[in-house]
Chains A and B, each alone.
Chain A
Amino acid sequence: MTTISSGRTAEAPTVAPDLPDRTPPRLPELGPLELLRWMWRQLTSMRVALILLFLLALAAVPGSVIPQTPQNPAAVRDFVAAHPDAAPWLQRLGLFNVFGSIWFAAIYLLLFMSLIGCFVPRSWQHAAALRAQPPATPRNLSRLPGYRTFRTTAEPVSVVAAAGQALRRARFRVVAEPGTVRAEKGYLRDTGNLLFHLAVLGLLVAFAAGKMYGFRGSALVVEGDGFTNTVTQYDTLTPGRMLDPDQLSPFTLKLADFSARYLEAGPQRGQPADFAAVVDFSREPGAPMQTARIRVNHPLELGGVKIFLGAHGYAPVVTVRDADGAIVFHGAVPFIRQEPTSLASGGVIKVPDAVPEQLGFDGFFLPTAAFDPNLGPISTFPAALNPRLVLTGWRGDLGLDAGIPQSVYRLDTRKLTQLRAGSDAAAGPWRTALAPGQRAKLPGGLGSITFDGYREWVNLDIAKDPGRLPALASAALALLGLLLSLSIRRRRVWVRASADEAGRTVVELGALARTEAPGLDGEVDRLAARLRERLGVADGDGGSDRVLGTGTDLPVRDRD
């Protein structure tokens, strides 16, 4: 059938059923070698292969229900926080990384061992079958499901010649003998079957190799800034086990422009319509600079490394002056989007060089600001139509000198004091909302902050997978093999010509398929009709066929 299974031990007999072995099984003691042999036979049996297949399907289920670390680490953290009792057990069982777990690997490795154990002997069998000739004509053709007979005045020799020719034209493998023709067709079915299973094996190898020799990483790049493909420039990087991180392809690039377009009207207002980034890049140090556009679904490929657009957002550009009036900070600070639809983004600005005290700011960037009486300042549209920077301030020790790595998106407020709007203790927190170009004085003469404008940033997802083309080729071959093995039927046709008492020739046709073969009846019918036409039908026997029919199929509707 479709599958490699026909060679498996538990296969249903199709052509020549062996008599079941009815002797009671003797149970010899198994030595270690016999035990291994027994285990191997079990493993390569169809039943175990089926069970492994279903285990594989079952094992994949938790990977879609429980959050997975490689796909969504943040969701795993939330899940662990929400289920403090269950989480350690799930962790121990590898349920936060199902597809990297030992038990998942055990299932598919056993399955593939089973596949190989079946594949190898089947390949030899098929190689032998490809060289073999169609089997001898059965003594009693009328027992075959596809049986036709008629009588003709033509000589047996010409019957055999005509049948051989007709079958050869139908691309059967034909052996003509005195009085009979044996023919077989459809070898490609098993070829396709083997090809499919081999290709699936190839797919696994390509997948594993791609993971081992490739990498995935991402880096946040602000418009105007550059990126060099070295380990330190990545925000996250997952290198394959066999990848030398020092051997990353040495390209550099600069994000010249990022633009996002949004639907401006209609019920879907605010939904993204298009993203595009323009980058200037050079393939290696000293190589000429080139320019490329990266869009969603259209990554940039540099020496086997593909660069994709990931998340994007705004980086307000601010200038901070301290109490002395000196510029102690100037630059674009990426804010992380808090609300995916309106792109209201949050972030912090750290000014360690301010005098007399270090300054910190946290707040929001609102691309299209509006004031909601209940929610306060909000953003109503993702594009920067009316940008505002809403900030509160802190002074004191930012904690940057403690030597502990700190998130650039969060203030450590333990040694900070919030700036107040007035000098008395009852005054609320100092707060400002700036339009581009506006400046706000900090309370207590601590200096000022200017919102110069904004730039956009984009997360570049950068990936290399040397296994992807082999994987694609394997997948294509698997599909081809699948189509061959599902559409082609292996079938045998025999024709016998023998003289009857009246001196006429009895022509018998018999056909047999190794598997369910819809359409075999029609094929034999056509062959019989062609032979009748070629040879002529003897008087008194106008082809009263004894049609058994293969009986396996729905009757095809008569169309007239």
Chain B
Amino acid sequence: MVNETLAGISYNFVVSATAVYALALFAYVAEWAFGARSRVGRTVPELVMAGGGDAAVGGVGGDTNAEAPLSADGPGPDGVPAPDAAGVDRAERLGRIGVSLTVLAAGLHLAGVLTRGLSVGRVPWGNMYEFVTAGTLVVVLVYLALLRRFDARWLGLFVTMPVLLALGAAVTVLYVDAGQLMPALHSVWLVIHVAAAVIASGCFTVGAVLTLLYLGLDLRARRGLGPAYIGARRLPDPDVIDRLAYRVFAFAFPIWTFAVIAGAIWAENAWGRYWGWDPKETWSFITWVVFAGYLHARVTAGWKGRAAAMIALVGIGCLLFNLFGVNIWIIGKHSYAKM
């Protein structure tokens, strides 16, 4: 039976996490605004190149000065005066506040998901509210993993925005009380199939954020606007972001494939057929085919780069439609996943 107290605690955790993500977003925005390249960042490389260093692109963790080269591009092309070191410090501090708040929010978020699961005595991804809270948690965890490995703090701003939007929608529009599931969902495959779908969806979302960033930076580069900065740190080149997006998609795609296969096994057990072109199945098939197209396009002359990126965005569109559109507007065998 449902533990209402725990369910209430879970809701409070998720709402708190949403609030802290909002604060994190403020910090990232502040880093961007107050460490603005126009005033502060543009000549940072001059300051730090004195320390020398290898050909690194993008920021490197640790302290700002001396051993941490921010970029290898030298002074800005239009020779805007050097920013003061205080501006750099301020931007760095704000960025780190953003990261700290993101970590804190992720902790609350995780607690919210766990307590939701404990309150109903099952895995916490049985309806849309739970799917979105779990999926956004995956998005944040992937961001934190990238942060750890590549010091990808520049992603913070772009990841917290959609997470905040999705969680905001989850706690307001999508929220349903903690409850028992339909008998059709009493299956070990709920754990496996939906977990894989949640993880893949979260990874795809991060890939989409990177792809949008790639397209924006690519546009900027083609307009001859020079490198982009967040705070004192230079964003990686568009190509580097594109390759990172590919790696995220290439990680997510087999998980999505597995989710579809697991769903088929479950469907065979529950409905007597492993594939019946139910709307949910159809859209996961469409999503799969579009991302397969993306992976092919990446190695095809004339398609790689922007065209492939657009395909990936179409794929994300299909994924989101499958999650929201199919649940809300189309009646099928997955209708119990409704709000």
Contacts and interface: CB of A to CB of B under 8 A. Distances in A.
Contacts of A3: 292, 295-296, 299
Contacts of A308: 270-272
A71 B258 contact: no
A545 to B, nearest CB: 11
B112 interface: no
Contacts of A11: 299-301
Interface string B185-209: 0110100000000000000000000
A295 B272 CA distance: 13
A60 B286 contact: yes
A296 B184 contact: yes
Interface stretch (B16-24, B44-52, B162-170, B277-285): B277-285
Contact of A482 (B186, B253, B278): B253
Nearest to A207: B275
A515 B286 CA distance: 27
Contacts of B330: 64-65
Contacts of B222: none
Given A11-B300, A54-B290, A63-B277, A306 B261 contact: no
A266 interface: yes
Interface in B21-78: 54-58, 60-62
The 4 closest A-B pairs by CB, nearest first: A463-B272, A1-B299, A64-B282, A2-B295
Interface string A527-560: 0000000000000000000010101111111100
Given A2-B250, A486-B253, A552 B296 contact: no
Interface string B112-146: 00000000000000000000000000000000000
Given A1-B299, A465-B273, 4 more contacts: A11-B299, A54-B293, A207-B275, A554-B58
A272 interface: yes
Contacts of A99: 277
A486 B60 CA distance: 28
Interface string B148-161: 11111000000000
A56 B183 CA distance: 34
A344 interface: no
A12 interface: yes
B286 A2 contact: no
Interface in B263-315: 264-266, 268-279, 282-283, 285-286, 289-290, 292-293, 295-304
A59 B196 CA distance: 26
A10 B58 CA distance: 33
A251 interface: no
Contacts of B62: 558
B234 to A, nearest CB: 12
B150 A554 contact: yes
A476 B289 contact: no
Contact of B180 (A268, A299, A478): A268
B257 to A, nearest CB: 6
B2 interface: yes
Given A463-B272, A465-B273, A518-B247, A1 B290 contact: no
A297 B190 CA distance: 11
A50 B270 contact: no
A513 interface: no
B247 to A, nearest CB: 7
B282 A60 contact: yes
Contacts of A8: 300
A449 B245 CA distance: 72
Contacts of A478: 257
A54 B266 CA distance: 27
Nearest to B266: A297
Contacts of A1: 295-296, 298-299
Given A10-B300, A50-B296, A558 B270 contact: no
A56 B283 CA distance: 12
B182 interface: yes
Given A2-B250, A479-B258, A273 B283 contact: no
A528 to B, nearest CB: 15
Interface stretch (B92-100, B101-109, B236-244): B236-244
B8 interface: no
B177 interface: yes
A214 B276 CA distance: 14
A46 B293 CA distance: 10
B254 A516 contact: no
Nearest to B280: A64
Interface in A46-65: 46-47, 49-50, 53-54, 56-57, 60-61, 63-65
Interface stretch (A239-247, A284-292, A377-385, A467-475): A467-475
B186 A274 contact: yes
A60 B182 CA distance: 29
B246 interface: yes
Contact of A267 (B57, B179, B247, B278): B179
A299 B272 contact: yes
Contact of A50 (B273, B285, B297): B297
A552 B239 CA distance: 8
Contacts of A98: 277
B297 A297 contact: no
A180 interface: no
B86 to A, nearest CB: 26
Given A11-B299, A271-B182, A486 B254 contact: yes
Given A308-B270, A475-B264, A50 B300 contact: yes
Contact of B286 (A57, A272, A306): A57
Contact of B183 (A6, A274, A299, A556): A274
Contacts of A297: 183-184, 186-187, 189, 266, 269-270
A542 to B, nearest CB: 16
B286 A46 contact: no
A468 B274 contact: yes
A461 interface: yes
Contacts of A471: 274
A12 B186 contact: no
Contact of B150 (A12, A57, A70, A555): A555
Given A60-B285, A308-B272, A463-B272, A554 B152 contact: yes
Contacts of A549: 55
Contact of B296 (A5, A263, A475): A5
A132 to B, nearest CB: 22
Interface in A470-493: 471-472, 475-476, 478-479, 482-483, 486
Nearest to A62: B282
Given A57-B289, A555-B58, A216 B272 contact: yes
Contact of A557 (B54, B61, B277, B293): B61
B60 to A, nearest CB: 6
A285 to B, nearest CB: 25
